[in-house]
Each structure stands twice: as structure tokens, then as C-alpha cells.
């Protein structure tokens, strides 16, 4: 894959893994469109990477979970006469706790952002890539996609959707030069658990590991990749264990401890 002079749109680029993607694509010569709600943070990332790598960076501060957000974003991108060559669907969040105690509006927001926005942005920009026979869509799933996660029931299910959807779209691309890949990080250094509540399972990996794994996967044109050797092994072993045990182990890691 060649990224120099291309334009990469990254959602959730104001923190954590998204910032690492901004750095990784800029380092490879790609111009950037950075999207998230916190404009001050996006401006800071834009300033740093444009100075360091000499790429052009467009900041779009927007709440992607709001109704009509994708159409609004598309309009802004089109008005700036930008072509999205690479799309990184990274924005997402989880909520740690019992499903029956989760605020219903928060659950709907989680599904809208993690699934609805990701699918609609893919629908918005993949056809152009296919037409140009060039480009890539990177969808951020999670190791939570490989088994049910009591304590993060909705989150795990959204990530299972993301991985299944992405792998299926990869299967529809045939011999196109366009790449589509689902990236499944395990616990990673970011603000994820500040937002979700609870604590990460295991020692978090640096966000740069997610980015390096992504570039390797894009070069290999695989439909799906897990970040880190230990995560790859545990994700592939899950299907050999009894479902009850798998659910119990996952629940042991993520269910709130006080109940
Ligand atoms: N960290 C982990 O352990 C881990 C593991 C597996 C998968 N993941 C996945 O990795 C992706 C990135 O998460 P992260 O770990 O880097 O978490 P993070 O540090 O909390 O970053 C999340 C990003 O999403 C943006 N975002 C959240 N809600 C948004 C909204 N309504 N509209 C627009 N942007 C929004 C946030 O920006 P604003 O708040 O400025 O809007 C932020 O830039 C997520 O899809 C997450 O599920 C994370």
C-alpha cells in the first residue's frame, strides 16, 4: 500500500488509538482528515503531525453519534473538495457494568457510533475507492468480538458485528486492489476505560502496536487481524472451550466486582 499524497479520514482522532493512527498515516506521507468532538484536542494533534511530517491536516469537530452525523460529515468533506482515499473507522466506546443498569440512551448511542456510523461511513466512501480501484477501510473491532462479554454486553456485541461485517465486505471485493480489514486490539493504552468505567483486562499494549499491526495487515490484504501474539492465541482458542466457561472467564474480567 502507498499512502503518500493520499487522504486518510480517521474518526476518534482526538485520543488514544486514533492519535496513533494520525501519527502513523502522517509518517507515511498521507494527508489527514481528523474527526471527533473535542476540537482543541484535534487541533493539537493536527499541529503536531503537520509540523513533524509536512502533511496537510483538516480538522472536523463533530459528534458522530448525533442523528444525521454521517451525512453532515460527508457534506463538510465534499465542500472542502477532499477525496477520502483511506477510511479509519476508529471512534467507539464501551460501557462497563450490568446491561440492565445501563442508561438506555447511552446504549443506543453506543450502537449508533460503534455500528451505525461505521457501516454508513463505509457505505459512503467504499464505492469511490472501488471505482478508483485504490484505497482502504480499516474498521476497529476488538478481542471483545470473539466471545460474549458480561459486564460489557452491548460493547462486545457491537464489536462482533464490526468484525463479521468487515470480513464479509472483504469477501465481496474479489480481486479489487481496495483493502478492507477488521483490526482487533486487546487492552490498549488510551482513554477507553476512563470513558467506560471499570479496569482493563491485562496489561495494556501501546496504541502504536495497533497501528503497526494494521499496516502489516493492509500489506498482506487479510480480512481480519488481532493485535499481539497472546491476544491472537487466546482469540483463536476461544472456540475450542465450552461456552459456559468462556462466558464465566470473560465475566470474571469485566463484571463490576462489588456485586
Ligand atoms: N483501548 C482499548 O483497550 C481498546 C481495545 C479494543 C478496541 N478498542 C477500540 O479502539 C477504538 C478507539 O478507542 P480508544 O481505545 O482509543 O479510546 P479513547 O481513547 O476513548 O478514544 C475514543 C475516540 O473516539 C472519539 N469519540 C467518542 N465518542 C464520539 C462521538 N460521539 N463522536 C465523535 N467521536 C467520538 C473520542 O473523541 P471525542 O471524545 O473527542 O469525541 C476519541 O477520539 C474504539 O473503537 C474502541 O472500541 C479499544
Distance CA 102, CA 154 (A): 10
In this structure, the number of other CB atoms found within 10 A of the CB of residue 81 comes to 6
Distance CA 20, CA 1 (A): 18
> Which backbone phi and psi does 33 adopt, to 5 degrees?
-120, 115
Distance CA 26, CA 183 (A): 19
Q: Measured from the CB, is residue 61 less than 6 Å from ligand 1?
A: no
Question: Relative to the CA of 69, which ligand 1 atom is closest?
Answer: 32
Of 3, 21, 125, 155, the active-site residue reads 155
Distance CA 165, CA 244 (A): 25
Q: Judge whether 8 and 201 are in contact, CB under 8 Å.
A: no
> What is the pLDDT at residue 133?
98
Grid cell locating 116: 451505525
Tell me: the pLDDT tens digits for 57-81? Answer: 999 999 999 999 999 999 999 999 9
Distance 113 CA to ligand 1 centre (A): 10
Distance 96 CA to ligand 1 centre (A): 14
Catalytic annotation present for 125: no
- pTM to 2 decimal places: 0.98
Burial class for 17, CB neighbours closer than 10 Å (0-12, 13-18, 19+):
buried
> What structural domains and CATH numbers belong to the chain?
7-254 (3.40.50.720)
Distance 89 CA to ligand 1 centre (A): 10
Tell me: the pLDDT tens digits for 114-158? Answer: 999 999 999 999 999 999 999 999 999 999 999 999 999 999 999
Average pLDDT on 2-16 reads: 98
Q: Measured from the CB, is residue 92 less than 6 Å from ligand 1?
A: yes
Amino acid at each position: 500500500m502507498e499512502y503518500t499524497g493520499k487522504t486518510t479520514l480517521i474518526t476518534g482522532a482526538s485520543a488514544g488509538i486514533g492519535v496513533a493512527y494520525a501519527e502513523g498515516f502522517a509518517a507515511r506521507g498521507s494527508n489527514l482528515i481528523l474527526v471527533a468532538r473535542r476540537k482543541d484536542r484535534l487541533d493539537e494533534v493536527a499541529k503536531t503531525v503537520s509540523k513533524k511530517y509536512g502533511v496537510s491536516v483538516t480538522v472536523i469537530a463533530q459528534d458522530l453519534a448525533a442523528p444525521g452525523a454521517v451525512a453532515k460529515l460527508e457534506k463538510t468533506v465534499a465542500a472542502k473538495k477532499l477525496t477520502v482515499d483511506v477510511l479509519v473507522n476508529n471512534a467507539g466506546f464501551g460501557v462497563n457494568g450490568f446491561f440492565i443498569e445501563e442508561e438506555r440512551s447511552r446504549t443506543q448511542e453506543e450502537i449508533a457510533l460503534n455500528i451505525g456510523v461505521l457501516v454508513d461511513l463505509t457505505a459512503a466512501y467504499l464505492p469511490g475507492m472501488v471505482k478508483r480501484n485504490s484505497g482502504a477501510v480499516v474498521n476497529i473491532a476488538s478481542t471483545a468480538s470473539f466471545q460474549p462479554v458480561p459486564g460489557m454486553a452491548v460493547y462486545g456485541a457491537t464489536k462482533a458485528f464490526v468484525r463479521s461485517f468487515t470480513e464479509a465486505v472483504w469477501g465481496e471485493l474479489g480481486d479489487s486492489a481496495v483493502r478492507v480489514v477488521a483490526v482487533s486490539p486487546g487492552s490498549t493504552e488510551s482513554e477507553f476505560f476512563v470513558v467506560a468505567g471499570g479496569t482493563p483486562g491485562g496489561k495494556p499494549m501501546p496504541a502504536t502496536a495497533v497501528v503497526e499491526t494494521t499496516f502489516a495487515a493492509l500489506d498482506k490484504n487479510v480480512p481480519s487481524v488481532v493485535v499481539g501474539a497472546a491476544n491472537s492465541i487466546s482469540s483463536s482458542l476461544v472456540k475450542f472451550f465450552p461456552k459456559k466457561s468462556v462466558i464465566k472467564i470473560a465475566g470474571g474480567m469485566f463484571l463490576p466486582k462489588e456485586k
